[in-house]
Structure 1
């Protein structure tokens, strides 16, 4: 390892540590916000329950469910909080490894009679490469997952329509693409049927 290489690898390590620190803050805050939001919903439900008791009213089973910290509440917190919690842990690990390698590079650079440091040079190279790959992959995966979640959220707007109604619409669109003809009024308004999931 040379002094130039030590300076270059230090630049990369410090850059990835800076990004990693921002990611740790972002994801830990997101995890905290998720936990706080779920806790706030629970407190609101308990406050409504206390008001019902104070006024002498009987709560519904839905109100009792909402105010309880049952398995459903814990599962909701876990599912909503797990992705940012996992990402926080990943970035803490990446930053810890980078700091460890950087400390060794700095110690090598401070030595008067420097050993060759070939193993340290190779280790620092691979640690930086893996950290950069994680940085890019994490951003890509997060972007794709958020796009998928947003797509599913938008598609839920079609949920109130029955399978039959959606099928009629798809057939009308298919026929319009094929012929360019608008559907006959009776085709686009089928007889009312009970909604099916």
Structure 2
């Protein structure tokens, strides 16, 4: 897994990418008035890239904080925040993916479908490992996005997240979001190198 130095380097690099995409999005209306037309499809690809990049940065920050945690409660806090980020990232990804796929040309559809299929297989395996529909949803609803009024219900999440397996969640989700980030960058450029895409799984 990454060292703290590598995490900081990635955060700084991806923050620069995010700032660039945010500036571009903020100027689209102005650019279109100046006859530099940025289509709705291109705008969606920039938004998709921005969403994945910001989620990636959040996850890296949470991972770094988790590794530096001293107390059991601090570890619990960072893991439940990771569950929240990951749960919301998955939901938002599902909202984007079909719309983004519609933006590729007929000539590109086969290759992009193959990449989406690879990402979706990785995500399906992740969701099964962490019982997305039950455990992840419960932690999100009862402990991280909301405080359950029944304190014992809230506190029960502490026991769930004390499971050593739960501490692997960030590492395992990076196996999905790292290639997804590369994929969104490739969509923006209009080209995806298959070798580099496969290599992006090797974090």
TM-score by length of 1: 0.40
Higher gyration radius (CA) = 1
